[in-house]
Amino acid sequence: MNDAALVISQYDENSKGKLAFHEFCSLVLPATNATLRSMAITRDYSKRVPQTAFLAQTLEHALALVFLREIDYHRRIEEIRSELSRKPNFSSLNAFKVIDTGKPQNKIDRYEIRDFVHEHLRWLEEEDLDSIIRR
C-alpha cells in the first residue's frame, strides 16, 4: 500500500479509498480542540481569496505539511507494529489482557492506556489520550 493510501485508509470510514468531507476534516483539523475544529469547519472564507483559488498558497503549503507528517507518522507506526508482530513471544490477546485491568474487562478505556503507558514510558496528558482514542 502506498503512503497516501495508508493515510486515507486510517480516516476512510466506509473503506472506499476516498475521504468524504467529514473524514477529511478528521485528517486535517485538530481532534482535541472541538471549538477550534468547529470554527474551521463553519468559517466562510470564499470572499477572502481570488475567485480562481480556494486557499492562499501558504495555507496549501501548511496542508501539504499535514499530509507529509501524517504519512511519516503512519509509516513509523506501521514499522513498530510489524516489528512487534514478528516477535515470536508476542500475543495480541495477552497484550490486550495486560492493558485491560479494569472491571468489567474486555474493553480497554483511556485510563487503562494512560496507566499502562505511564508504567512503562511516561505520563500522558488528556490530549495525548484523546489522540490515541480518536484513531
Domain final residue pick, 70, 90, 110: 90
Mark whether 35 and 97 lie in a shared domain. no
Mark whether 41 and 78 lie in a shared domain. yes
Q: Looking at residue 31, what is its pLDDT?
A: 78
Q: What angle do CA 112, 118, 123 make, to 5 degrees?
A: 110
pLDDT band at 48 (very low <50, low <70, confident <90, very high): low
Residue-number span of the structural domain to which 97 is assigned: 91-135
Mark whether 56 and 98 lie in a shared domain. no
Of 3-7, 79-83, 108-112, the one with minimum mean pLDDT is: 3-7
Between the alpha carbon of residue 134 and those of residues 51, 73, 125, the distances in Å are 36, 15, 14
CB 100 within 8 A of CB 107: yes
Q: Is the pLDDT of residue 88 over 80?
A: yes
Q: How many separate domains does the chain show? A: 2
How many CA atoms within 13 Å lie on the side-chain side of 82? 6
Question: What is the model's pTM?
Answer: 0.70
